């Protein structure tokens, strides 16, 4: 979801703690009224799916549908209203959209290769800042997407500890645009009243429209179907063999369960890592795809584009101590089981998430 206008909310931000209009529980959002920005996108539409399965249909979806196929993510979902992003400012200010118990802000430019820094600053920083201020002023629980890209090369660790924010050095402008708001919330004194989610490598249904930003599972499914192989980037660091670079891969169904747990836990505020807690190699991921398709693994290593070599993360792994400490105790789906579910139930059948199905 890409915003072309900045929201300018004139309501002053209140400093008192929020009083939510309706009680929300991790598995029951029946009485909640929710705004989901980026709601037609990958994680956004998955959240609408998860809310539907938890009894919530009083949802306003905001996005920019544009000319791609992400509108298809909405066809099976149940929600009360849809708003184009260009109209959100006016309708919130005028009160036409009414009050919300929860704002799930997933709308952003998520392209890690985007080079227009001004564009990213407006979309990912300024918009988030203004919507956070509006949410706090209007006593809505505000949950927003930060990113594991804020951790850079991981030299300062990957702990969701706000005291270490000033030491982080993102490797690309996308990560920096997310980091800017994390810093703003901390320095403005309201990070402890909102929830920021540092999503790691999330994959799963409803990502078809993302182009080059699709997960390797989605890309490799097409490669195997067409050519019988999966292509992986070579390594340019001696500490990592080709294909042995490691990422924290997380199934989107686990991702949204973690997100809604934190949204419904009033005492859980600040930054939280959203990942599996276990780093796995690209070879592991590729082998899981081949297994799901009942095919023999054939992997080809290719050159990494020079434009991203110095911005590439070789290792990511979420520290989940804060998430677990908030009371989230559900097991994380294994990489192999998650890939099998995604490939067999969605990619092979060309299906998207449907609230009538697990």
**pLDDT given for residue 121 in this prediction:** 83
For residue 200, tell me if it sits in a domain.
Answer: yes
One of 174, 199, 251, 342 is an active-site residue; which one? Answer: 174
**Any idea what the CATH number is for the domain that residue 65 is in?**
3.40.50.720
Look-up of token digits 């009680």: 23
**Confidence (pTM):** 0.91
pLDDT mean across residues, the chain: 91
H-helix segments, 228-305: 252-263, 282-292
Residue 121, exposed/middle/buried by CB under 10 A (0-12, 13-18, 19+)?
middle
Inform me whether the pLDDT recorded for 285 exceeds 90: yes
Look-up of token digits 């791609």: 68
For residue 300, tell me if it sits in a domain.
Answer: no
d(CA 309, CA 233): 10
For residue 260, tell me if it sits in a domain.
Answer: yes
- Whole-number Cα distances in Å, 120 to 10, 35, 90, 172, 241: 23, 22, 22, 11, 33
Which structural domain, as residue segments, surrounds residue 81?
34-204+248-277+316-332
Structure tokens at 79: 């929600």
Residue 305, exposed/middle/buried by CB under 10 A (0-12, 13-18, 19+)?
exposed
State yes or no: is 176 an active-site residue.
no
Say how many domains are in the chain.
Answer: 1
One of 14, 25, 210, 219 is an active-site residue; which one? Answer: 210
Q: What angle do CA 175, 179, 180 make, to 5 degrees?
A: 120
pLDDT, tens digit (0-9, with 9 covering 90-100), for 245-278: 999 999 999 999 999 999 999 999 999 999 999 9
For residue 230, tell me if it sits in a domain.
Answer: no
Residue 163, exposed/middle/buried by CB under 10 A (0-12, 13-18, 19+)?
exposed
For residue 320, tell me if it sits in a domain.
Answer: yes
**pLDDT given for residue 22 in this prediction:** 61
For residue 27, tell me if it sits in a domain.
Answer: no
Residues 42, 2, 103, 98, CA torsion sign: negative
State yes or no: is 210 an active-site residue.
yes
Residues pairing with 195 in the sheet: 143, 270
Look-up of token digits 């994959």: 203
Inform me whether the pLDDT recorded for 344 exceeds 90: yes
For residue 324, tell me if it sits in a domain.
Answer: yes
For residue 24, tell me if it sits in a domain.
Answer: no
Instruction: Write phi, then psi, for 35 (nearest 5 degrees).
Output: -105, 125
């Amino acid at each position: 979801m890409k915003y072309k206008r900045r929201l300018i909310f004139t309501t002053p931000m209140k400093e008192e703690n929020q009083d939510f209009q309706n009680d929300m529980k991790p598995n029951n959002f029946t009485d909640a009224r929710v705004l989901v920005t980026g709601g037609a996108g990958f994680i956004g539409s998955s959240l609408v799916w998860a809310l539907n399965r938890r009894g919530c249909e009083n949802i306003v979806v905001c996005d920019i549908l544009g000319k791609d196929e992400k509108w298809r993510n909405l066809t099976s979902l149940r929600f009360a209203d849809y708003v184009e992003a260009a109209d959100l400012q006016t309708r919130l200010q005028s009160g036409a959209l009414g009050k919300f118990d929860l704002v799930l802000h997933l709308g952003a430019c998520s392209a890690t290769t985007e080079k227009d820094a001004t564009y990213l600053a407006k979309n990912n920083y300024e918009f988030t800042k203004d919507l956070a201020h509006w949410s706090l002023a209007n006593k809505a629980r505000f949950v927003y997407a930060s990113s594991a890209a804020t951790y850079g090369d991981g030299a300062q660790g990957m702990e969701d500890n706000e005291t270490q924010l000033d030491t982080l050095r993102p490797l690309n402008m996308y990560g920096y645009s997310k980091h800017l708001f994390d810093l703003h919330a901390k320095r403005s004194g309201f990070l402890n009243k909102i929830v920021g989610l540092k999503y790691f490598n999330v994959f799963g249904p409803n990502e078809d429209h993302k182009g080059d930003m699709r997960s390797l599972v989605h890309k490799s499914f097409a490669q195997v179907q067409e050519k019988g192989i999966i292509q992986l980037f070579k390594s340019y660091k001696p500490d990592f063999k080709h294909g042995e670079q490691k990422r924290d891969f997380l199934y989107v169904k686990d991702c949204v369960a973690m997100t809604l747990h934190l949204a419904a836990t009033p005492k859980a505020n600040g930054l939280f890592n959203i990942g599996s807690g276990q780093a796995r190699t690209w070879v592991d991921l590729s082998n899981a795809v081949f297994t799901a398709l009942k095919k023999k693994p054939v992997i080809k290593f290719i050159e990494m584009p020079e434009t991203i070599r110095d911005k590439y993360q070789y290792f990511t792994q979420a520290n989940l101590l804060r998430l677990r400490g908030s009371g989230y105790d559900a097991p994380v789906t294994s990489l192999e089981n998650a890939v099998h579910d995604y490939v067999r139930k969605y990619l092979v059948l060309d299906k998207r998430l449907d609230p009538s199905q697990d």
